[in-house]
Amino acid sequence: MEDDLISSLTRQVKEEVIENYLTERRIVGLQIEDIEAQAEEARFQALKTGRRLSRLAYLMVQPEMLKKLLDLLNISSPSFWNDCLEKKFSRGIRLIRVRALTDKGKFRKLLLEAYNRLYRWMENYRKVYEELNAECRAVNMNIDKFQKNFDLLTILNFLKSLDPTALERKHYLGENFTAEELSSVDRTLYLHPIRFENLEVPAPPALPEPEAIESALSDLANEIYRRYQDQIKGIML
């Protein structure tokens, strides 16, 4: 009789531990899902920022001028941002309208404003990227704390000792597990830390501030206009 009581109490304690485990696991799982959703939004912001880079590359007219721009911006190759420079520019973003007394002055203003807008977009994207990185580190700390709070092997052995009917009746596995999946700890119970690089969110480059690069961009605009005046007039139509 006493042995049965002890066995029953032990089982109840184990069941309570598992209930706590699964509750906390679902909470951490929701945090991971939120990180994945934020990463998707960050990738979308990177694409929109990349269009501003494609527009700047379009204004270079010729590959040799694009190479000079690359030297000014210090964008590494290969990289997501370098790919944006090489993509064909499509007018899927707002047109830039500038005024000047001459076409040469107009083109210079156009190039400077295109860079200013790229810089602002990149700095906004940088905030999104850094916030995501910080959130990822915080969730990984929660995952590490969660794993240390529970004896996974004991929990697994107890679950495997139950028959499938008991598992379903007690809702131990919730929507995340099936009885068959209990054979794999890594796939079902163990939560792996998030590898930030696996989110495939491109790191923002450290672009020069507009004031620091204004003179060099103005010289580049003058050179492009002097050498490719007819093509520039077509761009500004």
pLDDT score of 200: 95
The torsion angle over the Cα atoms of residues 21, 22, 24 and 26, rounded to 10 degrees, is 160
> What does the pLDDT profile of the chain (237 residues) look like in tens digits?
444 444 443 445 455 556 667 777 788 889 999 999 999 999 999 999 999 999 999 999 999 999 999 889 988 888 999 999 887 776 656 667 777 678 888 999 999 999 999 999 999 999 999 999 999 999 999 888 877 766 565 666 666 665 555 544 444 444 445 555 555 544 556 678 899 999 999 999 999 999 999 999 999 999 999 999 888 877 775
pLDDT score of 88: 76
pLDDT score of 176: 44
Instruction: Based on DSSP, count helices (H) and strands (E) in the chain, helices before strands.
Output: 9, 0
3-state secondary structure of 26: helix
Give which of 116, 67, 106, 122 is closest to 221, Cα–Cα. Answer: 106
Cis geometry, peptide bond prior to residue 63 (ω within 30 degrees of 0)? no
Its domain, for residue 30, covers 2-235
Angle in degrees, 0-180, between the axes of helices 2-58 and 103-149, rounded to the nearest 10? 170
Residues 54-57: contacts with CB within 8 Å, 24+ apart? 54/84, 54/85, 54/87, 54/88, 54/89, 54/90, 55/89, 55/93, 55/114, 55/118, 56/85, 56/111, 56/114, 56/115, 56/118, 57/84, 57/85, 57/86, 57/87, 57/89
d(CA 204, CA 131): 13
Decide: 79 and 202 in contact? Cβ < 8 Å: yes
pLDDT score of 10: 47
Structural domain tally of the chain?
A: 1
d(CA 128, CA 118): 15
pLDDT score of 144: 85
